[in-house]
A and B are shown apart, each in its own frame.
Chain A
Amino acid sequence: ETGVTQTPRHLVMGMTNKKSLKCEQHLGHNAMYWYKQSAKKPLELMFVYSLEERVENNSVPSRFSPECPNSSHLFLHLHTLQPEDSALYLCASSQGPSSYNEQFFGPGTRLTVL
């Protein structure tokens, strides 16, 4: 396992539920990311935080709401999701935005929306 942890590992929720995904990095990095991975599609970048400031938001629906209270923790708050939001949600971290920006992934949360 890498120095990035995610909880829960699996989540099943109804369309009216509210839940949160948590990510923690122990690598001393200052950038954190949320990605979505759906079957047969490339990894999709959702949000990027650098030093607790959101620096990228790739047209993600408002039913996904990120929160970064400090440089080690990242949350993704979920509400009124749709079945098509079922996917693997991956958190990653990196040192920063330079070209040598190696990103390291957590184990992911497998989300199923009923």
Chain B
Amino acid sequence: DTAVSQTPKYLVTQMGNDKSIKCEQNLGHDTMYWYKQDSKKFLKIMFSYNNKELIINETVPNRFSPKSPDKAHLNLHINSLELGDSAVYFCASSRTGEAFFGQGTRLTVV
């Protein structure tokens, strides 16, 4: 009965492809997030989405676009993948306090 689940867990793809990572939470939280853990292990926020308000980290390339069909889902779509996009991507959700994280998606661009 996973609280925050994301799929796939592993994703290997070629440069230039477009891919999506899906995220669902069953906690009834209003806010969802995408974080990226880079090669130096830093967890950096990419987006937060709360009641149709999207807050974007300005350092995120516009090839990355979050899509939220409803409050329980926040998918991440990436266009024209580059080698530097290889990382672990974490989805998370929260109400007002701590964020709950999914298990991560390891994206490898070859």
Q: Are chains A and B native binding partners rather than an unrelated pairing?
A: no
A residues within 8 Å of B by Cβ?
none
B residues within 8 Å of A by Cβ?
none
